[in-house]
Amino acid sequence: MNWFLDALAVLVVFLGALPLLVAVLQFLLIGLQRFRRLYRDRGEPYLPRTAVLVPAWNEAAVLPGSVEGLLALEYPPDRLRIHVVDDASTDETPAVLAELIRRHPGQVVHLRREHGGQGKAHTLNHGLARVLADDWAEAVLIMDADVVFDRDALWRMTRHLADPRVGAVTAYIKEGSGRRGNYLTRYIGYEYITAQAAARRAQNVLGAVACLAGGAQLHSRANLEDLGGRIDTDTLAEDTVTTFETQLAGRRVVFDGYATVLAEEPGDLAGLWKQRLRWARGNLQVTRRYRHVWFRGRAAQGEHRLGSWLFGLIWFTLLLTPALLTLCSGALLLLFLTDAGGLAWTLFHWLWVTNLVCYLLLTLMSALVDPRTFRRCWREALIYPGLVATAILLVTALPGLFLPLLAGAGPLTGHLLMLLVYAWLALCMPIAWLAKELTGTRLRWLAPPLLHLAGYGSLLAACLVAAAFHELRHAELAWDKTEKTGKVAIGS
């Protein structure tokens, strides 16, 4: 039975490398995007009459910039109307809108909900009912109040709707604080290169897009009408549900990486945790809701590709990252304690060699996909796995240099240190969670160092664990809005 246990240990340990391997696979798929011919010349520009829906609750600080930015787009003014759906705001939002309407009569519309607080989806449905009540709009752009579109972003998105098979288009949302940001917004900036610029381009190749970005999603009128003219209100991931339903109905969803949008992201760990907890819970709800779709193969897919094995692998690898890392650490610890470290060290070494190769490839390819953003956050990119994990990668790369130092530390110290190293993939998640917990306390100065040690990705993994517990105890589906301050830096 030893051979079987050893083989099982090898499998379990290398499950810990699966998230990075899948991330590399997505980058490699980008090279095949040319064969999808998404950006081929379609002749005359396609500029449908577009109604913009902007849900707003207490957004006085950001509305002037976002609305003025929309009106300055490279798009015919007579083919663009901006509907701000005011969700019973209690700040200066109504006064700000009144001034915008005065300056731009006929182009800005104020839709007021007197009884709000139900969440973004309900607010959008209020606006959709008004927009679809007449036949003016040929397309509808749904966005967030804090985002600022590049001047050419909208026509780059609408060009795809010239193909009647395309139901919806999403843009590349970039972290927009620029030089006004901090270490956390730079981490987010790097994350968005991998999670959007790379991952969604790969999904274009697969023909199955996971999510229309909530801050920049363009729909054809026909697509919205086929979806019942309403946004889902039963989950915390209304944008993902809309994405899946569009594709299940036989229409394509396209990500345009050349249409870029700047968004304000949380600048502290508490705000980031609140946002990502909502996203993670929404993804868990979507996973359960579409359980009949996963891994069904090409024969059962019809016009969509959501049931492909590769798309399912990408989706579930991300979702199960905390479990994969914990199992990996558990297998290493068990082997270390039962065989005096022989097999454990061999597996550990090759696991981290694999991680090192993947990490270097991801970093280099990220610099190629979005060099401008990468230049701003390259330091965070280098320590993205965390300082401890980066040190382990260095040991893996140069074992002849570091292992003699470890041997000279003495047997007890070396034993304890190896236990810590083998357990690190599991330990980094609670440490990242602790960093979030310290935010807002007297020890908040410890939060950034702890996050740097544990790694930004570890915080996202910890958030997935928290989301699972929230779902298991059926916690209230509260759509917590993150505070916006209007710090988006144009041209960042």
CA dist 160 and 40 (Å) reads: 10
Q: What is the pLDDT of residues 232-262, one digit of tens each?
A: 888 888 999 999 999 999 999 999 999 999 9
Nearest Cα to Cα of residue 482 among 180, 235, 146: 146
3-state secondary structure of 492: coil
The reported pLDDT for the residue numbered 264 is 86
Whether residue 160 contacts residue 169, with contact meaning beta carbons closer than 8 Å, is answered with: yes
Nearest Cα to Cα of residue 328 among 4, 14, 2: 14
pLDDT class for 475, splitting at 50, 70, 90? Answer: confident
Whether residue 127 contacts residue 83, with contact meaning beta carbons closer than 8 Å, is answered with: yes
**What amino acid occupies position 152?**
D
Q: What is the pLDDT of residues 296-330, one digit of tens each?
A: 875 455 567 899 999 999 999 999 999 999 998 98
Query: Does the pLDDT value for residue 155 go beyond 50?
Result: yes
Percent of the chain with pLDDT over 70: 88
Q: What is the pLDDT of residues 425-440, one digit of tens each?
A: 899 999 999 999 999 8
Per-residue exposure over 43-63, b if at least 16 CB sit within 10 Å of its own CB, e if not: eeeebbebbbbbbbbbbbbbb
CA dist 210 and 166 (Å) reads: 15
pLDDT class for 403, splitting at 50, 70, 90? Answer: low
CA dist 148 and 176 (Å) reads: 9
Domain 39-305 fold is Spore Coat Polysaccharide Biosynthesis Protein SpsA; Chain A (3.90.550)
Locate 107 and state its tokens: 């182009």
- The sign of the CA dihedral 208, 211, 215, 219 is positive
Percent of the chain with pLDDT over 90: 53
Nearest Cα to Cα of residue 439 among 465, 459, 457: 459
3-state secondary structure of 121: helix
The reported pLDDT for the residue numbered 36 is 66
The reported pLDDT for the residue numbered 120 is 86
Alpha helices in 339-410 (DSSP H): 342-369, 371-382, 387-397, 399-407
Q: Which residues contact 405 (CB under 8 A, 6 or more apart)?
A: none
Residue 170 to residues 60, 70, 167, Cα–Cα distance (Å): 25, 16, 11
363 in the Ramachandran plot: left (φ > 0), alpha (ψ -120 to 50) or beta? alpha
pLDDT class for 482, splitting at 50, 70, 90? Answer: low
Q: Which residues contact 408 (CB under 8 A, 6 or more apart)?
A: none
Of residues 484 and 285, which shows the higher confidence score? 285
Q: What is the mean pLDDT of residues 453-463?
A: 95
CA dist 303 and 207 (Å) reads: 10
Helix axes 18-30, 321-338, angle to 10 degrees: 130
How is the chain split into domains, by residue range?
2-18+316-472, 39-305
**Ordered strands of the 216-220 beta sheet:** 108-113, 80-87, 50-56, 139-143, 216-220, 166-175, 252-263, 148-149
CA dist 401 and 404 (Å) reads: 7
Q: How many CB atoms neighbour CB 325 within 10 A?
A: 24
Mean pLDDT computed over every residue of the chain = 86
CA dist 58 and 278 (Å) reads: 20
CA dist 60 and 104 (Å) reads: 17
Residue 381 to residues 183, 208, 265, 431, Cα–Cα distance (Å): 11, 28, 17, 20
CA dist 455 and 443 (Å) reads: 19
Whether residue 203 contacts residue 255, with contact meaning beta carbons closer than 8 Å, is answered with: yes
Whether residue 232 contacts residue 128, with contact meaning beta carbons closer than 8 Å, is answered with: no
Question: Lowest-pLDDT range, 376-390, 410-424, 426-440, 471-485?
Answer: 471-485
Q: What is the pLDDT of residues 173-195, one digit of tens each?
A: 998 887 778 999 999 999 999 98
Locate 63 and state its tokens: 């509305």
CA dist 394 and 380 (Å) reads: 17
3-state secondary structure string across 410-478: CHHHHHHHHHHHHHHHHHHHHHHHHHHHHCCCCCHHHHHHHHHHHCHHHHHHHHHHHHHHHHHCCCCCC
pLDDT class for 31, splitting at 50, 70, 90? Answer: confident
